[in-house]
Amino acid sequence: MTIDLTQFHDAFFDESFEALDSMEAALLQLDTGNPDPELINTVFRAAHSIKGGGATFGFSEIASFTHSLETLLGELRDRRLTVTQTICNLLLKSVDVMRAMLGSAKAKQPVDIQSVADLQFDIELIIAQRDTRMAAAPMASRLDSGTAAARGTIPEPGASVEWHIGMRPGPEFLERGTDPVRIFRELSALGTLTVTAHLDALPSWQDLEPQRCYLSWSLCLLSDAPEAAIREVFEWVNADCGLTLSPSSLISAGATAAAAPTIVVPASQAGSAAEAGSIRVGVEKIDELINFVGELVITHAMLSQISRSVTGPAADALRSGIQQLERNARQLQESVMRVRMLPISVVFSRFPRMVRDLAQRLGKQVELQITGENTELDKTVLEKIGDPLVHLVRNCVDHGIEKPALRLSAGKNPVGTVHLNASHRGGSVVIEVSDDGSGLDDQRILSRARAAGLASPDGTLSPEQIRELIFVPGLSTAEITTDVSGRGVGMDVVRRNIADLSGKIEVHSEPGRGSRFLITLPLTLAIVDGLSVAVGDQTYIVPMTSTIESLRLTPSQVTTIADGREVFAFRDEYLPIVRLYKTFALTPRARALHDGLVVVVEGAGRRIGLFVDDLLSQQQVVIKSLETNYGRVPGISAATILGDGSVALILDVADLIRIASRREAA
């Protein structure tokens, strides 16, 4: 009897992607100077499990590649090879390649064999070099009473060895006052030095930033000096300079790595993953559970309503039973909701790598701090918050953090800091993306906005109002459009994506000190805290996150301006009144403003007063999609089921404001 293995493929892919995530996290924490053996073990185990699964399920390319990778990791684990920046970069590249391979295999697409083969070749080259080194060692240390060389070749005293040195300084190398001339002069004192300069990275002289180092060198040193003496020459340059050093019997380990920016990730992240026992459950099963619990809550509300009209000897017992049911139902609801919650580290974990690559590409030094990564958030929210966060973090690194030279001249630490923080605040989750860079340039934002016709040319705006402008479509403040950010999507898209999650984003900035973006999100998309309001015979839910205040207006507070539009003074601004019965074409009970109530709501950075007949209650409601069976409805985000089993629509405040302003414009 044969077992159909395809049924296990999904689990294999899920587990492999997770293994890759933990592999990447461990690699990013790996300190090449002093590698933590436990981190190497983590990486090794991850590769090993992918290899095993790949072989079992017949993904031969994956199995073959991970085999090579595992061999290399074995060498590193057993300290037959030292962890260099080159190897570390190679391992990170392997994570990418394996992700792509698994992605292709999952989508049943052909694998990009060339990139896999290239990388596999590089890996095997390093392993092969280790073999040469091991073979060379006993010969070279013949006279050394038979002890094996710890690393590399120990030349016989007095014998000259040809050393190959690769040196690729980081961009700020020269500014820091390290002069390659001095280094090479010292080297030439140790023996015969031949220098080859690589000019291929040197731009035309007009485009060249003269402080920046574009040159790299290959050196060949024939010397009888011990390796330590040669290394000593480079003692002060290691941090900001890619460096390779090998005796000539070895093949050069390929391109040297560029200087890597430092990234600090709290150590708690790696250890916390997957320690507790867990089972894998399909999301749809959890959603089904959540739906049933939602039903239970509604049924309870129904029962409780009926029980109020019950009289007789059993009535009290019935009511206390229903109260008990309510407690149980709430607890069950909370527990089930918690099943859907995942720590935000799932999203944050991609940033160390991203910031590292980005900083490297932009020639900046950035330290990424992550805190509150164990804050839990609904899975759906998590899935959708990733892109806006990527955009914000990119912006911080690209536009916020200045180049090291500029930071130094401003008296700042040349290493910029980007801080990601998540925390619970009441019933919401607050995610904070901040940097200690240059802050928003209010003047430039304003002049851009005026140039684009988004702000009036002579009106004065408060700093807060100016910063609101960055969320307006069509305003990009990037001085130079880079391939990192400033193309196509802007902050307006970020705000819209966050609004789609019933969240909001605000920005704080201090010139020269940095900027801070605060995103407030609901814990879950399954439930919303709402204010129920009555209009005619209909009930609507206004999300609490959008409401500011409700008030009853007296006729004197209302001004009617051109074409019948009504406005009222609220705090220090005039807000338009939107009569919900008109928007929704209903017959209201209250037509005169003083007969009903105005709910001040806010969305997309604007406020309006919604005129309704009455406020009914404040309650938590279970969100039900209208799009499952119908479609999008203007001004409405979703529906819910009330205690009596009837349906109430949940208002989409931002959309209502949009509709209202479109009417004004018409």
Which residues bind to another protein, rule: CB under 8 A? 174-175, 177, 179-182, 184-185, 188, 193, 195-197, 199, 202-206, 208, 210-211, 213-215, 217, 291, 294-295, 298, 538, 583-586, 624-636, 639, 641, 645-649
Smaller CB separation from another protein, 219 or 590? 219
Judge contact between 99 and 128, C-beta under 8 A: no
Smallest separation (angstroms) from another protein to the CB of 635? 6
Smallest separation (angstroms) from another protein to the CB of 641? 5
d(CA 193, CA 190): 8
Torsion of CA 343, 347, 349, 354, to 10 degrees: -170
Label the pairing between strands 597-603 and 514-522.
unpaired
Smallest separation (angstroms) from another protein to the CB of 499? 17
The phi and psi torsions of 66 (rounded to 5 degrees) equal -65, -25
Smaller CB separation from another protein, 194 or 554? 194
Judge contact between 365 and 359, C-beta under 8 A: yes
Smallest separation (angstroms) from another protein to the CB of 500? 13
What three-state secondary structure class fits 120? helix
The H or E element that residue 230 is part of is helix 227-233
The phi and psi torsions of 168 (rounded to 5 degrees) equal -130, 95
Smallest separation (angstroms) from another protein to the CB of 540? 10
Helix axis angle for 9-29 and 85-106, nearest 10°, is 160
Smallest separation (angstroms) from another protein to the CB of 534? 13
- Integer angstrom CA distances of residue 338 from 331, 376, 529: 10, 8, 17
Interior CA angle at 171 toward 121 and 188, to 5°? 80
Smallest separation (angstroms) from another protein to the CB of 649? 7
d(CA 572, CA 234): 64
Smallest separation (angstroms) from another protein to the CB of 628? 6
Smaller CB separation from another protein, 323 or 625? 625
Smaller CB separation from another protein, 294 or 490? 294
Nearest one of 595, 614, 435, 637 to 539, comparing CA atoms: 614
Smaller CB separation from another protein, 459 or 631? 631
553 HSE (CA, 13 A, CB side) = 28
Smallest separation (angstroms) from another protein to the CB of 242? 16
- As to burial, measured by CB atoms within 10 angstroms (0-12 exposed, 13-18 middle, 19+ buried), residue 52 is middle
Q: Is 229 left (phi over 0), alpha (psi -120 to 50) or beta?
A: alpha
Smallest separation (angstroms) from another protein to the CB of 399? 24
Smaller CB separation from another protein, 110 or 177? 177
Smallest separation (angstroms) from another protein to the CB of 415? 20
Interior CA angle at 180 toward 177 and 185, to 5°? 120
d(CA 40, CA 511): 42
The residue type at 533: V
Q: What six digits make up the tokens of 447?
A: 């002049």
d(CA 154, CA 144): 9
Judge contact between 240 and 335, C-beta under 8 A: no
The residue type at 174: L
Q: What six digits make up the tokens of 27?
A: 């690699």
Q: Which residues pair with 169 in a beta bridge?
A: 241
Smaller CB separation from another protein, 38 or 288? 288
Smaller CB separation from another protein, 203 or 474? 203
Judge contact between 606 and 600, C-beta under 8 A: no
Smaller CB separation from another protein, 573 or 627? 627
Judge contact between 4 and 53, C-beta under 8 A: no
Q: Which residues pair with 433 in a beta bridge?
A: 420, 517
Name the one residue in this structure whose structure tokens are 């900035």: 509
- Integer angstrom CA distances of residue 487 from 102, 480, 483: 29, 11, 7
Judge contact between 12 and 101, C-beta under 8 A: no
Smaller CB separation from another protein, 90 or 623? 623
Smallest separation (angstroms) from another protein to the CB of 361? 21
Smallest separation (angstroms) from another protein to the CB of 307? 21
Smaller CB separation from another protein, 140 or 610? 610
CB neighbour list of residue 618: distance below 8 Å, 6 or more residues apart: 529, 530, 531, 532, 544
Smallest separation (angstroms) from another protein to the CB of 532? 13
Nearest one of 421, 407, 405, 389 to 505, comparing CA atoms: 389
Smallest separation (angstroms) from another protein to the CB of 651? 10
Smaller CB separation from another protein, 525 or 639? 639
DSSP type of residue 397: I
Judge contact between 485 and 464, C-beta under 8 A: no
Name the one residue in this structure whose structure tokens are 């800091």: 417
Smaller CB separation from another protein, 181 or 228? 181
Smaller CB separation from another protein, 200 or 573? 200
Smallest separation (angstroms) from another protein to the CB of 623? 10
Smaller CB separation from another protein, 170 or 180? 180
Smaller CB separation from another protein, 88 or 187? 187
